[in-house]
A and B are shown apart, each in its own frame.
Chain A
Amino acid sequence: MRHTAAKAFAAVAMTAALTAVAVPAMADPATGTVPASTDIVGAGSDTTQALLNQFSTDYNATVSGTPKLYSWDATGSATITPKSGAASITRPNGSGAGITALNAAGSSLDYARSSRGPQTGDLSSNLFVAFAKDAVTWSAKSGGHAPANLTTQDLFDIYSCTAGKTNWSAFGGTAGTIKPYLPQINSGTRSFFLKAIGNPTLGSCVVTGPQENQGTDPLLDDVDVIFPYSAGHWVGQANGHNDAVDDKGNLTLRSINGVAPLTASGTINSVFANPTYGRVLYNVVRDSDWNASPATTKSTALRAIFGSSGYLCSTAGKASTVSYGYLTLAAAACGSTTHI
């Protein structure tokens, strides 16, 4: 079984490699570039940072003058100065941190990248603008002790550190004490994954720490590890949107409830991206900016970038979305807004 699964994973990886366009991941505004005070600038989710960097490069090539689009990565220097004339802030790392920074008094951010939808505690004045779909599954080291498939209940038990459920042999894998890892606390992938598996009370065997979607973390180079992973980000990395750190490393994606996260051609399986394990990717804006009346330079720019007729939802934008591993949204579902 594991041999067959390994072949399947290898086939998926091979297909992805064959279709790859080797474009290294980009990061932050280019060195020496200080976004103008009128530019559209955001931060937040790790999951979509590489794609937003691509959007920034491509969109800005179509715009003369300002506002241009910029995106600050989730990790890097401890602080960032989002745009010209703005105060330095702690670099937002993750969807939650990005949304918090967007809503901070005097915030110079214009949007927050979010890999989760609106939830209790968010402001009703935040509009979540949808642009793509992703799925979250679990990953494990290729050739390690984990099986090819786990059920939702298995995942709940593993992250609860339930007695009798702490060894891979209990799940059809090779004997070895399970090492359940989770991304850092502000990670949207973390909160989404935990909600999907039933919000277990985390057991003492669970370790929080690695940056999400970075299979290169030395902690994850272990035959007994299990780690949530964005299926789309993994595909994007396999498609060549990676670097020495932002890479899937030796981790491969595994099935849940018998459903594979990827198709044979290495794209997200739309059946897997169901309401439990599929998630919508957003950029969060302030309602007052988006719906300014009369329209302002900023509201016009936000809609030109994120709206249903904007760049992200254009043919070119959707091509980048696919290349980075995500599913596109049909028609005006792309650019639709929702809020708590």
Chain B
Amino acid sequence: MSRHAVRIAAAVAGLALAATAASATSATAAPAAGSVVIHESNSFFQQAARAGIVAVPLPTATAGYDAASGLSASFPVTDGSGTLNNFFGGVSLGGGLLFVDARTGSAVSFHQLAFAFDTWAVTAVPDGSTTPVALFDPAGNNSITSSGGTQSLTADALVLDAEGARYLDSELHTTFFTAGQDVGSFALSYTPAS
């Protein structure tokens, strides 16, 4: 075996060892878990539809619909730090969110969604950018509970952040979005990695 081949074999063996170690670690450590559910009210859904605008959750987010209450999108928690009831830290979310304006033919999609416990805002990074945009803010009555290591937040209102409204209007070439616009409601369930 040549010296070059030996180096490659050693590197592969090293990677295998690292993979084994990582696997052993992950076998004993539970990753962060939970979800964020953004509930889009029928009222907002109908207003947006009339304006030609639809919002679509992207994998690994999942969507649901209830005729009485409207659309919902569930985003899995992929990582997190801090604690909700200390308003310190936040969670990272999987999946993405696509906004389309059928009238203008414009679209903008976001990934790297996150909810920060200190700023109390849902942020997301537009595809092709590295700068997060604050999209939504839980509003109204917010209730925080903690049970068995799982932290939960329910907000009976969710409003569009001023930054998000400006960004969406700009990207979709609309005037539909406004700061504080009532979108629906918000729920978070978060179990830190252990």
Contact = CB atoms under 8 A, between A and B. Distances in A.
Interface of A: 117, 130, 133, 270, 273-275, 278-280, 307-308, 329-333, 335-339
Given A331-B120, A331-B121, A278 B86 contact: yes
B95 interface: no
A34 to B, nearest CB: 33
The interface centre, meaning the residue of A133, A278, A331 with most chain B CB atoms within 10 A of its CB, is A331
A308 B140 contact: yes
A274 B86 CA distance: 8
A232 to B, nearest CB: 14
Contacts of A130: 87
A307 to B, nearest CB: 8
Given A270-B118, A275-B82, A329 B142 contact: no
B139 interface: yes
Contacts of B120: 329-333
> Interface extent on B, as a size class?
20 to 34
A321 to B, nearest CB: 14
Contacts of B140: 308, 332
B141 A308 contact: yes
Given A330-B120, A330-B121, A338 B143 contact: yes
Contacts of A336: 142-144, 153
Contacts of B142: 308, 332-333, 335-337
A333 B188 CA distance: 13
Given A275-B83, A332-B138, 8 more contacts: A274-B82, A308-B142, A332-B120, A333-B117, A337-B144, A338-B143, A338-B144, A338-B145
Nearest to B118: A330
A124 to B, nearest CB: 10
B119 interface: yes
B88 interface: yes
B88 A273 contact: yes
18 contacts: A270-B118, A274-B86, A274-B88, A275-B86, A275-B88, A278-B88, A307-B141, A308-B141, A330-B87, A332-B120, A332-B138, A332-B139, A332-B142, A332-B155, A333-B87, A336-B142, A338-B85, A338-B145
A333 B153 CA distance: 10
Instruction: Please give me the 6 A-B residue pairs with the lowest Cβ-Cβ distance, nearest first.
Output: A336-B142, A330-B120, A338-B144, A331-B120, A333-B120, A275-B86
A332 B146 CA distance: 18
Given A273-B88, A278-B86, A337 B118 contact: no
A300 to B, nearest CB: 14
Nearest to A132: B87
B137 interface: yes
Contacts of B82: 274-275
A339 B145 contact: yes
A331 B143 contact: no
A130 B121 CA distance: 17
A28 B137 CA distance: 37
Contacts of A333: 87, 117, 120, 142
A274 B120 CA distance: 16
A270 B116 CA distance: 14
A290 to B, nearest CB: 10
B98 to A, nearest CB: 25
A133 B145 CA distance: 18
Nearest to B158: A332
B137 A332 contact: yes
Interface string B117-161: 111110000000000000001111111111000000101010000
A313 to B, nearest CB: 11
Interface in B73-125: 82-83, 85-89, 117-121
Contacts of B89: 275
Contacts of A308: 139-142
Contact of B138 (A273, A331, A337): A331
Interface in B137-194: 137-146, 153, 155, 157
B83 A331 contact: no
A333 B120 CA distance: 6
B187 to A, nearest CB: 13
Contact of B85 (A117, A270, A274, A307): A117
A335 B138 CA distance: 12
